[in-house]
């Protein structure tokens, strides 16, 4: 079965740029989606199909995907960006989630 690997945690200074990676075998050939989940809340889609933003998601959120790594980039990080982030793909008729990354804004 397909696996997605994310770092357990990422820290970023307030106002700086955070990058969260999602590794998978030839993930660049798949559509990657990213979700933000704050404590006690349902996940929210922040990036779909590698780099597209749903309406209402700030331009500070961007994505890329190539080779074996997809990346979620959060520019000018704010305290409100502190959350868990999950990547997700569709593979072999299965939804696959990464293990999640906790983003801490210092």
Partner 1 sequence: QLQLQESGPGLVKPSETLSLTCTVSGGSISSSSYYWGWIRQPPGKGLEWIGSIFYSGSTYYNVSLKSRVTISVDTSKNQFSLKLTSVTAADTAVYYCARRIVVVVADYGMDVWGQGTTVTVSS
Count of residues interacting with partner 1 (CB under 8 A): 25
Interface stretch with partner 1, choices 18-26, 60-68, 71-79, 96-104 (CB under 8 A): 96-104
96 near partner 1 (CB under 8 A)? yes
Residue 31 or 75: the one with the smaller Cβ distance to partner 1 is 31
- DSSP sequence for the chain: ----B--SEEEE-TTS-EEEEEE-TTGGGS--EEEEE-TTS--EEEEBTTTB--TTS-TTEEEEEETTEEEEEESS--GGG-EEEEEEEEETTEEEE---EEEEE-
The verdict on 57 binding partner 1 (CB under 8 A) reads no
In whole angstroms, give the CA distance from residue 4 to residue 94.
13
Write the interaction track for partner 1 spanning residues 37-56; mark x where CB under 8 A is met and - where it is not: x----xxxx--xx----x--
Interface residue list for partner 1 (CB under 8 A)? 1, 31, 33, 35, 37, 42-45, 48-49, 54, 84, 86, 88-90, 93-100
């Amino acid at each position: 079965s397909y696996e997605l690997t994310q770092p357990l945690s990422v820290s970023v200074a307030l106002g700086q740029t955070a990058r969260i990676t999602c590794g998978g075998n030839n993930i660049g050939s798949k559509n990657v989606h990213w979700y933000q989940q704050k404590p006690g809340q349902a996940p929210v889609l922040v990036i779909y199909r590698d780099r597209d933003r749903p309406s209402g998601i700030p331009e500070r959120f961007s994505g890329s995907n190539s080779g074996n790594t997809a990346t979620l980039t959060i520019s000018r990080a704010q305290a409100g960006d502190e959350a868990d982030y999950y990547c997700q793909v569709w593979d072999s008729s299965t939804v696959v989630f990464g293990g999640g990354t906790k983003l801490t804004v210092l």
